[in-house]
């Protein structure tokens, strides 16, 4: 059937060709004589492709065609007839050559069968649109998008993306370095978690955030020559991350030893720095550029998982109470009140295992550190001081942990004064060749309130109230230097009134002065309920 159709089409084409040649021959022999006018008019080309002239033979003003040259206007000879250039045919028939050319085009045009045409249409409809896009986003913990870009791919294509370096924008990666994704939808997302660069972050800001133990601290600029303050901050941050060493850094020959002498026995900023019970600088190694290769190792007395659990508990506390307090005094009072209510004091015995680094009563955590206070409700003076300081840091307060001494004396001021003098000499000139905490028998805090430093001693507030039946549990809250260096408490034994003195000694050369008291803030309401 299909072959018959093809033969029929061929016959029709032959008949059409013969008919067209007949018309062409008739037109050739019936054409009128050409105009013999020898004056050649100026011609222009209209939009139809025909030539036109004005009535007077001049070219129209709006004509866009160029006037023919003399050579173009010469008489030309065609295969069919001689035509004078510039003459317009007097009949409306198409030239023979045009007819033949059109016919040739018709014959040469390929014939498409109905079935082939329908198959082509069907194929075009089934071509899948497999284009897909994927957006790479860098997002902070509070859902802030700090960088993003969109790329193109194909559906079901697997793409692998290496995270960009956002250091110049002040951010660091807190996520996997490389992520892969199969483009299963028209639009897709790859998200990287980032945070503010801890290297570039000032220490005051660094202390406001929960420690991210999962991602170690990375530094790019490890040349601390003539940058002692930056080196101290660097060391504190390393301890907060519970790293066992700083790693190699560069500086002058004695810079690492200066860190030991300055920070080990002084009240440096950073509550968790007291987790490092020993600081051991490695021997400096000279380099070719005049600097020294340095490293500092740390020793800890608490298990890392306990430190992390304690930090998480501190974060919960902060999230619970952060909107209840506005002023610095309110923040300090809130923290003091909560610790007084929830943490019991206990004095370790030298008969306990690992004394003095004993576990608390529950046996899971060291009694000296914040995890014991936050999770088990028990501690010694260092526990109270570190816990208060870390909570204060999270609330944005500037705070210190003081390592000093406390002496209790009776009414014999002379004997007490001699003991105080001996302790003061030791604290002013600590032996840092080998760390020994034997003469650091007490810890408490300094906190800055409205621009001024004040003493806070929660451990003594709690124990004095318990031991001497005192109703005031805020005697040492936001007090001055003069007040805390000697506190006299009168108590009765039977009918006799006795006096108990408490002396505090610390290295005043390395600890900020607290010239004024703001103890009146103890009247602020208890916001822990």
Question: What are the structure tokens assigned to 99, written together?
Answer: 């007819």
Residue 31 domain-assigned (yes or no): no
Query: Does the reported pTM lie above 0.85?
Result: no
Q: What pLDDT is stored for residue 386 in this prediction?
A: 97
Percent of the chain with pLDDT over 90: 56
In tens, the pLDDT along 128-137 reads 688 999 999 9
Residue 116 domain-assigned (yes or no): no
Cβ neighbour number for residue 152 with a 10 Å cutoff: 10
Checking if the pLDDT of 193 tops 60, the result is yes
Task: Judge if 285 and 316 occupy the same domain.
Answer: no
Residue 507 domain-assigned (yes or no): yes
Domain that holds residue 418: 304-523
Q: What pLDDT is stored for residue 491 in this prediction?
A: 79
Task: Judge if 154 and 57 occupy the same domain.
Answer: no
Q: Tell me which of 250, 270, 300 is where a domain ends.
A: 300
Task: Judge if 311 and 285 occupy the same domain.
Answer: no
In tens, the pLDDT along 22-76 reads 665 655 555 544 444 444 444 444 433 333 434 444 444 444 444 444 444 444 4
Sequential DSSP letters for 219-271: -S--B-TT-HHHHHHHHHHHHHTT-SB---EEE-TTHHHHHHHHHTTS--B-G
Nearest alpha carbon to residue 276 among 236, 309, 305: 236
Q: Tell me which of 73, 108, 143 is where a domain ends.
A: 108
Task: Judge if 413 and 497 occupy the same domain.
Answer: yes
Checking if the pLDDT of 314 tops 90, the result is yes
Average predicted confidence (pLDDT) for the chain: 82
Residue 417 domain-assigned (yes or no): yes
Highest mean pLDDT among 273-287, 414-428, 486-500: 273-287
| Lowest-confidence segment of 65-79, 136-150, 458-472 by average pLDDT | 65-79
Checking if the pLDDT of 115 tops 80, the result is no
In tens, the pLDDT along 505-523 reads 998 887 899 999 999 999 9
In tens, the pLDDT along 469-478 reads 888 999 999 9
Q: What pLDDT is stored for residue 300 in this prediction?
A: 94
Contact 45, 95 (CB under 8 A): no
Percent of the chain with pLDDT over 70: 73
The domain spanning residue 387 has which CATH number?
3.10.620.30
In tens, the pLDDT along 317-351 reads 999 999 999 999 999 999 999 999 999 999 888 88
Task: Judge if 191 and 210 occupy the same domain.
Answer: no
Integer Cα distance of 380 and 361 in angstroms: 12
Spatial strand order of the sheet with 452-456 comes to 477-479, 452-456, 442-449, 399-409, 496-505, 486-493
Contact residues for 355 (Cβ-Cβ < 8 A; gap 6+): 348, 349
Task: Judge if 370 and 490 occupy the same domain.
Answer: yes
Checking if the pLDDT of 110 tops 60, the result is no
Task: Judge if 146 and 210 occupy the same domain.
Answer: no
Integer Cα distance of 404 and 267 in angstroms: 9
Cα separations in angstroms, 44 against 51, 70, 461: 5, 15, 112
Checking if the pLDDT of 126 tops 90, the result is no
Contact 380, 356 (CB under 8 A): no
Integer Cα distance of 234 and 457 in angstroms: 28
| Lowest-confidence segment of 346-355, 363-372, 375-384 by average pLDDT | 346-355
| Lowest-confidence segment of 103-112, 328-337, 449-458, 489-498 by average pLDDT | 103-112
Q: What pLDDT is stored for residue 234 in this prediction?
A: 96
Under the banding of pLDDT at 50, 70 and 90, the label for residue 114 is very low
Residue 182 domain-assigned (yes or no): yes
Task: Judge if 326 and 404 occupy the same domain.
Answer: yes
More confident residue, 174 or 106: 174
Question: What are the structure tokens assigned to 239, written together?
Answer: 């301890």
* Number of structural domains the chain divides into: 4
Q: Torsion angle, CA of 310/313/317/320, rounded to 10 degrees?
A: 170
Q: What pLDDT is stored for residue 288 in this prediction?
A: 94
Q: Is 143 helix (H, G, I), strand (E, B) or coil?
A: coil
Residue 339 domain-assigned (yes or no): yes
Lookup result for tokens 């030298």: 350
The domain spanning residue 188 has which CATH number?
3.10.20.320
Checking if the pLDDT of 467 tops 50, the result is yes
Task: Judge if 319 and 417 occupy the same domain.
Answer: yes
Q: Tell me which of 153, 174, 196 is where a domain ends.
A: 196
Please give the average per-residue pLDDT across 113-141, as a whole number.
Answer: 69
Strand 187-196 and strand 131-139: the pairing is parallel
Please give the average per-residue pLDDT across 115-128, as a whole number.
Answer: 49
Checking if the pLDDT of 5 tops 70, the result is no
Residue 245 domain-assigned (yes or no): yes
Q: What pLDDT is stored for residue 509 in this prediction?
A: 80
Task: Judge if 293 and 316 occupy the same domain.
Answer: no
Integer Cα distance of 216 and 243 in angstroms: 8
Cα separations in angstroms, 33 against 24, 30, 82: 17, 10, 11
Residue 123 domain-assigned (yes or no): no
Task: Judge if 372 and 514 occupy the same domain.
Answer: yes
**Cβ-count burial of 59 within 10 angstroms (0-12 exposed, 13-18 middle, 19+ buried)?**
middle
Task: Judge if 284 and 325 occupy the same domain.
Answer: no
Nearest alpha carbon to residue 475 among 336, 370, 276, 305: 336
Lookup result for tokens 């009694």: 367
Integer Cα distance of 375 and 252 in angstroms: 43
Note the residue count of the chain.
529
Please give the average per-residue pLDDT across 122-149, as a whole number.
Answer: 84
């Amino acid at each position: 059937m299909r072959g018959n159709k093809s033969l029929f089409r061929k016959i029709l084409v032959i008949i059409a060709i013969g008919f067209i040649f007949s018309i062409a021959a008739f037109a050739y022999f019936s054409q009128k004589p050409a105009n013999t006018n020898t004056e050649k008019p100026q011609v222009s080309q209209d939009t139809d492709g025909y030539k036109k002239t004005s009535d007077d033979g001049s070219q129209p003003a709006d004509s866009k065609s160029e006037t023919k040259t003399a050579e173009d206007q010469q008489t030309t000879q065609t295969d069919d007839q001689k035509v004078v250039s510039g003459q317009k045919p007097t009949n409306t028939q198409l030239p023979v050559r045009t007819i033949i050319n059109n016919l040739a085009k018709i014959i040469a045009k390929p014939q498409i069968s109905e079935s082939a045409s329908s198959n082509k249409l069907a194929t075009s409809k089934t071509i899948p649109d497999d284009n897909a896009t994927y957006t790479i986003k860098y997002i902070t913990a509070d859902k802030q998008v700090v960088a993003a870009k969109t790329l193109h791919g194909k559906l079901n294509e697997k793409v692998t993306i290496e995270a960009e370096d956002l250091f110049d924008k002040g951010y660091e990666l807190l996520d996997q370095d490389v992520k892969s994704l199969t483009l299963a939808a028209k639009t897709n997302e790859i998200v990287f978690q980032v945070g503010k660069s801890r290297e570039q972050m000032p220490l005051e800001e660094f202390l406001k955030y929960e420690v991210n133990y999962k991602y170690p601290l990375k530094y790019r600029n490890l040349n601390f020559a003539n940058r002692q303050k930056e080196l101290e901050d660097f060391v504190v941050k390393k301890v907060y991350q519970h790293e066992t060493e700083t790693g190699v850094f560069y500086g002058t020959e004695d810079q690492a030893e200066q860190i030991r002498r300055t920070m080990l026995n002084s009240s440096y900023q950073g509550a968790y720095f007291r987790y490092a019970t020993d600081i051991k600088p490695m021997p400096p190694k000279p380099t070719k550029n005049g600097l020294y290769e340095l490293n500092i190792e740390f020793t800890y007395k608490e298990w890392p998982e306990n430190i992390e659990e304690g930090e998480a508990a501190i974060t919960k506390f902060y999230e619970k109470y952060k909107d209840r307090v506005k002023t610095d005094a309110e923040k300090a009072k809130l923290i003091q009140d909560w610790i007084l209510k929830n943490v019991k004091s206990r004095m370790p015995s030298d008969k306990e295992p690992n004394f003095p680094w004993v576990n608390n009563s529950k046996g899971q955590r060291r009694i000296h550190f914040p995890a014991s206070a936050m999770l088990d409700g028990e501690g010694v003076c260092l526990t109270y001081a570190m816990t208060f300081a870390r909570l204060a840091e999270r609330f944005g307060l500037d705070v210190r942990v003081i390592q000093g001494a406390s002496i209790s004396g009776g009414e014999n001021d002379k004997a007490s004064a001699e003991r105080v003098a001996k302790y003061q000499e030791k604290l002013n000139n600590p032996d840092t060749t080998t760390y020994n905490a034997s003469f650091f028998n007490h810890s408490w805090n300094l906190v800055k309130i409205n621009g001024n430093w004040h003493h806070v001693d929660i451990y003594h507030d709690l124990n004095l109230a318990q031991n001497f039946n005192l109703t005031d549990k805020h005697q040492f809250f936001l007090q001055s230097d003069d007040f805390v260096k000697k506190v006299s408490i009168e108590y009765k034994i039977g009918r006799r009134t006795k006096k108990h003195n408490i002396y505090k000694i610390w290295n005043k050369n390395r600890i900020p002065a607290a010239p004024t008291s703001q103890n009146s803030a103890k009247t602020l309401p208890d916001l822990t309920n």
